[in-house]
Amino acid sequence: MQIDKQSAARRLIDVAIRNHALGEDPIANHVIVMSCFDLLREYAGAKGKTFRSITDIVRPEYEKEVVKRYLKRGWYFLKHARDDSDQLFDCANIGEINRSLTILNISKYFNVFGQESDHMRFFCAVETVVNPRMFKQEFVGRVNTAALQIFGAVPPVLTRELLRDVYVEWVHRPR
């Protein structure tokens, strides 16, 4: 069996989303999420395509924190050991980091390939309701205005609780 880069990126995103929904090991999922991030970044560069920046979807006041805390620290820790073999990594927020990076990967996937799956849209809609202040309104609007209207009145913690079982069921439905 052979796959192309678009299929590989989509499969990595799909696995990351399923792992989030099922509560799988967030450290292992971080490797999947960051692998997809690098794949999309390098693919966009090789094809001369615009690479979506974190600032395209995240408000400027969150940019430095996202890049510093989310993009680099954990990935380098899990990927390399030469310079930090005796260091520890605080992975308390790794699940939140993975969800944010998965949204960025979905946005980059859309930017590079011009499409996204219902699976990707649903995940983004839920996450933008759970953490609405972090995202630019243009991104939130593109994700799914109708879904945000449905979920918008429900407190974020309750939204995730209510949607968990529905989401897990939806992830496993036959396609």
Question: Is the CB of residue 113 less than 8 Å from the CB of residue 130?
Answer: no
Torsion region of 48: left, alpha or beta (phi above 0 gives left; psi -120 to 50 gives alpha)? left
pLDDT at 146: 43
pLDDT at 78: 72
Report mean pLDDT in 10-residue bins for the chain, 175 residues: 96 93 89 91 87 65 65 67 75 82 88 84 76 69 54 54 56 53
Whether the model pTM is above 0.75? no
- Tokens for 49, please give them: 């395509």
pLDDT at 40: 92
As a whole number of angstroms, the distance between CA 108 and CA 98 comes to: 15
Per-residue buried b or exposed e for 128-144, using 16+ beta carbons within 10 Å of the residue's own CB: bbbeeebbeeebbebbb
